[in-house]
Amino acid sequence: MLNSIIEVKNLFHSYMTATPFEKEILHNLSFDIYEGEKLAIIGPTQSGKSTLLQYFNAIFIPKKGRVIVDGRDTRDSKLNLKELRRKVAMLFQHPDSQLFKDIVADDIAFGLKNFNFPEEVINITIKKALATVGLEPDEFFYRYIFSLSGGEKRKVAIAGVLALDPEILILDDPTAGLDPKGRRDLINSIRFLHNKLELTTIFVSSNMDDVLELADRIVVLFDGEIKMIDTPKNIFKQKEKLLNYGLTLPSVVEVVDELIKSKINISEKIIGIDQLEESLIKLFKK
Ligand SMILES: Nc1ncnc2c1ncn2[C@@H]1O[C@H](COP(=O)(O)OP(=O)(O)OP(=O)(O)O)[C@@H](O)[C@H]1O
Ligand SMILES: [Mg+2]
């Protein structure tokens, strides 16, 4: 049985409420996120993805609709927000808005200090968190944030939230702006963390290769409405629809399209790199 860890019920969101600029951004969203899954939220720019994410750790509290996180209604005035935000860790869209200390260790310690852990425990936790994201603890502990590469910054930001031992990890377009190696490296880290820490992982991505590689399920958001919610296999075979929603396709799907256009006899249903490899090998053997 799938256990829902987050339930979104008839959620609406407006910015600048009670002003002449009031604009409804999310319209009547209802869906569940299951414990232990990797859920991707995709949609064109300004479709409301980052807005939606902020309901999951109660940065936004519903004015219309409900969001239940781990059995607790985020509208409940008795909700312990500090505890919820430890459980539901959020990595923001721009790493620079997450890292605001000068030294790596200070940055990772920041969240922990909110919880009054003793100094030794904090230092051990920082080193553990660095190792978990694949950064050599002794090398990175005293590094200046400004001296890190884009990929390393993302990892330090992830280490900062992991130090709080979360159950749900939310990542807002984590690979944006990374080079191919940095991207590959980060995808592997996210997958490793998800499995090792038995997290529920919710991520937004504009890179459909990331989505194909990581997601168990995909939500397609367009203009503040859920248009599709299904497995990657079922979503990525609906090419026309996705293009109409202003989305791109994973590279494998594009390659298959091109091959079919050049009259190569392979199935248009292929969405994975392994499937493509297999089909091409079969074809060459013929
Ligand atoms: N603080 C704000 N005040 C007013 N409008 C806002 C605010 N934040 C976002 N918006 C508007 O809400 C809409 C949805 O924005 P949001 O950032 O959720 O989209 P997104 O899907 O994350 O976009 P992107 O892919 O570019 O990150 C946009 O039209 C945006 O301009
Ligand atoms: Mg966004």
CATH number of the domain within which 12 lies: 3.40.50.300
pLDDT at 1 over 80: no
- CA distance linking residue 71 with residue 52, whole number of Å: 18
**Same domain assignment for residues 239 and 257:** no
Determine which of 110-124, 133-147, 241-255 has the lowest per-residue pLDDT on average.
110-124
* Confidence bin at 229 (pLDDT 50/70/90): very high
Q: Looking at the 3D structure of the chain, how many domains does it have?
A: 2
Nearest-CA residue for atom 6 of ligand 1: 15
Token code pair at residue 124: 């051990």
pTM of the model: 0.92
CA of 50 relative to ligand 2 center, distance in Å: 4
- CA distance linking residue 85 with residue 56, whole number of Å: 9
25 lines ligand 1 (CB under 6 A): yes
CA of 47 relative to ligand 1 center, distance in Å: 7
- Kindly give the number of the ligand 1 atom that is closest to the alpha carbon of 44: 25
CA of 48 relative to ligand 2 center, distance in Å: 7
Q: Kind of pairing, strands 168-172 and 200-204?
A: parallel
- Kindly give the number of the ligand 1 atom that is closest to the alpha carbon of 45: 25
Tell me the pLDDT tens digit for each residue of 157-183: 999 989 989 999 999 999 998 888 888
Token code pair at residue 201: 């992982």
Q: How many residues does the chain have?
A: 286
**Same domain assignment for residues 32 and 98:** yes
Q: What is the pLDDT of residue 98?
A: 83
CA of 97 relative to ligand 2 center, distance in Å: 13
46 lines ligand 1 (CB under 6 A): yes
**Same domain assignment for residues 27 and 38:** yes
Compute and round to an integer the Cα radius of gyration of the chain.
20
pLDDT at 39 over 90: yes
**Same domain assignment for residues 63 and 42:** yes
**Same domain assignment for residues 195 and 257:** no
Domain carrying residue 202: 4-249
Residue 47, number of CB atoms within 10 A of its CB:
24
Alpha helices by DSSP H, 197-238: 208-214, 232-236
What stretch of H or E contains 172? strand 168-172
Tell me the pLDDT tens digit for each residue of 80-101: 998 999 999 999 888 777 888 9
**Same domain assignment for residues 156 and 279:** no
Tell me the pLDDT tens digit for each residue of 191-222: 999 999 999 999 999 999 999 999 999 999 99
Nearest-CA residue for atom 28 of ligand 1: 46
**Same domain assignment for residues 228 and 260:** no
* End-to-end CA gap in the chain: 44
**Same domain assignment for residues 271 and 222:** no
205 lines ligand 1 (CB under 6 A): no
CA of 177 relative to ligand 1 center, distance in Å: 19
Q: What is the pLDDT of residue 245?
A: 96
**Same domain assignment for residues 276 and 229:** no
51 lines ligand 1 (CB under 6 A): yes
User: Measuring CA to CA, which residue among 254, 128, 108 is closest to residue 197?
Assistant: 128
**Same domain assignment for residues 229 and 274:** no
116 lines ligand 1 (CB under 6 A): no
Nearest-CA residue for atom 1 of ligand 1: 15
User: Measuring CA to CA, which residue among 200, 121, 129, 191 is closest to residue 159?
Assistant: 129
**Same domain assignment for residues 182 and 233:** yes
Q: What are the Cα distances from residue 14, in Å, to 69, 74, 238, 273? A: 21, 17, 30, 40
**Same domain assignment for residues 278 and 235:** no
Among 11, 45, 51, 91, which is best to mutate for testing ligand 1, by the most ligand atoms less than 8 A from CB? Answer: 51
